[in-house]
């Protein structure tokens, strides 16, 4: 979630996106997926390798939080969401001090369909960090699934301190007080370095896509999420952005699977 990490979090974040993703073009015109087939295979193979390596470590020490973290991340990459949750749960059981800050567990719970549990995880994170609006967005996403859009907006977390861009603007999108166009225009007009602009565009596209998704606009959601997946910045940035890049890819693939299913049925 946040691009910066503590030394301890960095120690846990040992799975990384393969180097191939930093060099190969990420879109093939003949493929609807925003990543080409070779890149997707490399990504999946790396995740499978990470799981096997973690399995070996966990056979010797089932409470190894580093191995559980790596395996949970790899399982999430492979869309094995209940298994990822199980690993993150085991991390917290082994070291309860990890619970409040474990935003990856909240996101995995969301994709596992456990929306109430996910919302509670983000509420605990808010007690750990009451500045990070990205956390509030995820709580909102969970609650739209459990209590509906209107009530989720009514119960949006309140923030008094400033957060990094583009999250103040993106948070307003979920509150219904700004638009996708206004967010993107603001990023385009900002006097910032290109890397900062790409960073802001990545997060804006990710959450614009998720906003469309929870409001049942799948075509618009896929278009925004595809832009996030094709953005090169998160693949070379820190652990948090790379992990959120996986979220964009995973959610795009879920929407694509539904689109193809509907097309087949028709």
- Map out the domains of the chain as residue ranges: 35-99, 100-161, 164-266
What's the whole-number mean pLDDT along residues 107-123?
96
With helix as H, strand as E and coil as C, how does 97-141 read?
HHCCCCHHHHHHHHHCCCHHHHHHHHHHHHHHCCCCHHHHHHHHH
pLDDT cut 70: percent of the chain above it: 88
Q: Write down the mean pLDDT value for the chain.
A: 88
- pLDDT for 2 equals 55
Higher pLDDT, 223 or 20: 223
Architecture of domain 35-99: Alpha Horseshoe (1.25)
- pLDDT for 38 equals 94
pLDDT digits (tens, 9 = 90+) for 249-259: 999 999 999 99
- CA angle, 152 as apex, 151 and 155 as ends, to 5°? 85
User: Rounded to an integer, what distance in angstroms lies between the CA atom of residue 212 and that of residue 203?
Assistant: 14
What's the whole-number mean pLDDT along residues 143-167?
88
pLDDT digits (tens, 9 = 90+) for 35-72: 999 999 999 999 999 999 999 999 999 999 999 999 99
């Amino acid at each position: 979630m946040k691009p910066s990490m503590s030394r301890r979090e960095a120690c846990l974040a040992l799975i990384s996106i393969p180097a191939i993703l930093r060099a190969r073009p990420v879109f093939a015109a003949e493929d609807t997926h925003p990543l080409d087939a070779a890149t997707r295979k490399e990504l999946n193979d790396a995740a499978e390798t990470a799981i096997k390596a973690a399995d070996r470590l966990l056979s010797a020490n089932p409470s190894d939080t580093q191995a559980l973290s790596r395996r949970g991340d790899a399982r999430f990459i492979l869309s094995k969401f209940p298994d990822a949750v199980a690993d993150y749960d085991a991390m917290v059981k082994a070291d309860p001090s990890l619970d409040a800050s474990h935003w990856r567990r909240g996101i995995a719970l969301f994709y596992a369909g456990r929306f109430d549990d996910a919302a509670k995880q983000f509420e605990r994170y808010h007690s750990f960090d009451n500045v990070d609006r990205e956390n509030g967005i995820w709580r909102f996403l969970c609650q739209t699934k459990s209590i509906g859009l209107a009530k989720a907006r009514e119960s949006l977390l309140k923030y008094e301190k400033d957060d990094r861009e583009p999250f103040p603007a993106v948070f307003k999108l979920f509150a219904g007080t700004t638009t996708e166009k206004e967010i993107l225009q603001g990023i385009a007009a900002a006097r910032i370095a290109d890397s900062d602009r790409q960073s802001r565009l990545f997060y804006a596209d990710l959450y614009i896509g998720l906003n469309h998704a929870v409001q049942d606009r799948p075509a618009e959601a896929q278009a925004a999420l595809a832009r996030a997946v094709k953005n090169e910045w998160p693949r070379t940035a820190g652990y948090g952005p790379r992990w959120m890049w996986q979220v964009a890819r995973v959610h795009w693939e879920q929407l694509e699977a539904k689109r193809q299913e509907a097309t087949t049925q028709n």
